[in-house]
Amino acid sequence: MMALKARQLTFGHLEGPPLLEKGELEIGKGECVAVTGPSGAGKSTLCHVLAGVIPRSLPGRVSGEILLFGDRLWDLPLAETVRRVGVVFQDPDAQLFFPTVEAEVAFGLENLCFPEEEMARRIGASLDLVGLSRYRCQATQDLSQGQKQLVALAAVLALEPGLLILDEIFASLDQQGAAVVQGVIADYKAKGRAVLLVEHDPENLPVVDRILHLAQGKLREVVP
């Protein structure tokens, strides 16, 4: 079973031409697929669509079929969607809402009513993965942009989704932070999970298995 399969996928804003027209996309378990393309091509919008944010929470036009681990994405309840796919976007300030690192990572787990012992385990494990265990009680406003990005990643990792979508996550990271994310991606692949990575810098693509290019409404695989 594929982690993600999109067929004849067309999407765009409420006004204007489609950003993608009849696109095809597959991501297997244990695979990392990168999406590249020029600014404004629709890469971030693609992330919103594949995570079910558009049109469920944000406006947009979408047609075609998206299967998330074999089930139609738009048939899944929101809580189940969050369990299956997690998204980290480029701007961490748009994703962090709580005063401390621990509260931020705990939020999704609390919403899904995890037991306290399991919550504690997942918070600790996700902060370990991103190297921020010693910042657990830190105020998020006192962190650097790169650290905030890693907190946003930890909050998603705590939910242990089968598909991880990372939208230009390296933009705020220094070399050490980038190495942490590379390690997370490698770990995800080793566990048989899937990653979709939106990225433009070739130096950040060593763990990628396939590369797709989105431009002018077309999504095409890049042949090495």
Mean pLDDT (whole number) for 81-89? 95
CA distance 156 to 112: 13
* End-to-end alpha carbon distance in the chain: 26
Q: Would you report the helix, strand and coil content of the chain in percent, each value rounded to 5? A: 40, 25, 35
Q: Which domain holds residue 174?
A: 4-221
Percent of the residues in the chain that have a pLDDT greater than 70, as a whole number: 100
CATH of the domain at 210: 3.40.50.300
pLDDT in tens, 18-64: 999 999 999 999 999 999 999 999 999 999 999 999 999 899 999 99
What secondary structure does DSSP assign to 143-155, as a single string?
A: S-HHHHHHHHHHH
> What's the pLDDT at 223?
75
Q: What would you report as the CA-atom Rg of the chain, rounded to the nearest whole angstrom?
A: 17
What is the number of domains present in the chain? 1
Confidence grade of residue 2 (pLDDT, cut at 50, 70, 90)? very high
CA distance 184 to 179: 9
**What is the pTM (predicted TM-score) of this model?**
0.95
Is residue 201 within 8 A of residue 5, CB to CB? The reply is no
CA distance 10 to 60: 11
pLDDT in tens, 120-170: 999 999 999 999 999 999 999 999 999 999 999 999 999 999 999 999 999
